[in-house]
Amino acid sequence: MNMNKSWFNIKVKYSKPDDDGAEQKVTEEYLLDAFTYTEAETRMYQIIQDDLGSGAEVSSITKSNYAEVMRGEEGQGWWKSRITLISFDEESGKEKQANQNILVQAEDIADAFSRLNAALGRGVTEFLIPNIAYTKIIEVYEQGALADPEEEAKPRKSGLKPAKSFEEE
């Protein structure tokens, strides 16, 4: 059984007031890493309970095919980037190509392209970037990737605390 983490696209529906104060149904998309669909759904419900309240619900979960997620400190949007890695097979004498999707946090398409070029340019494999497209992903939640360790140890509204904080008490 393969127990590698996967990335899951999760759509969340909830009501929020619009500019006129009327309730408006919105659907937002998030990306989350997990081992299973069940774990992804459970973690997303914990997140939306803390951030959006009890009226939000997970409307769909799909496994995504991102090989990597590249965060940026200044990027506001998430860009799905298809890269093609090019290698030469010595035995057959033919060029081989392998495609991967990388999600890049960037200000715009030019910023996403330059970040990919900088990251991939350090390797020894030749590559192409045939496609970069803006996504509707609002936020990416990577387990254990919170920027602030103190924030990670705080109890959630649900009253649950990470196990690490119990050891310290």
In angstroms, the Cα distances linking 86 to 23, 113, 147, 167 are 51, 18, 34, 48
pLDDT along the chain (169 residues), means of 10: 80 86 88 93 88 81 93 87 90 90 94 91 83 94 61 43 43
Q: Which CATH number fits domain 6-64+138-168: 3.10.20.10, 3.40.50.150, 3.40.605.10, 3.40.50.2300?
A: 3.10.20.10
| Per-domain residue ranges of the chain | 6-64+138-168, 68-135
Going along the chain, which residue ranges are E strands?
A: 6-17, 23-34, 57-64, 66-70, 77-89, 94-106, 126-134, 137-141
pTM for this entry: 0.75
pLDDT given for residue 154 in this prediction: 45
